[in-house]
Amino acid sequence: MLDAIDRRLIAATQGGLPLVREPYRVLAEQLGLDEADVLARLQGLLDRGAIRRIGAIPNHYALGFTANGMSVWDIADEVVADVGAKVGALDFVTHCYERPRHLPIWPYNLFAMVHGKTRDEVRDKVAEIALLVGSAARSHDILFSTRILKKTGLRIAA
Whether the Cβ atoms of residue 153 and residue 14 lie closer than 8 Å to each other: yes
Min dist. Cβ of residue 71 to other proteins (A): 12
Nearer to other proteins, 32 or 100 (CB): 100
- Helices (H), ranges, 14-50: 23-31, 35-47
Nearer to other proteins, 80 or 132 (CB): 80
128 half-sphere exposure, CB direction, 13 A CA radius? 16
Min dist. Cβ of residue 135 to other proteins (A): 20
Min dist. Cβ of residue 95 to other proteins (A): 6
Nearer to other proteins, 1 or 131 (CB): 1
Going by the DSSP 8-state scheme, the letter that residue 89 receives in this structure is: T
Helix axes 23-31, 4-13, angle to 10 degrees: 130
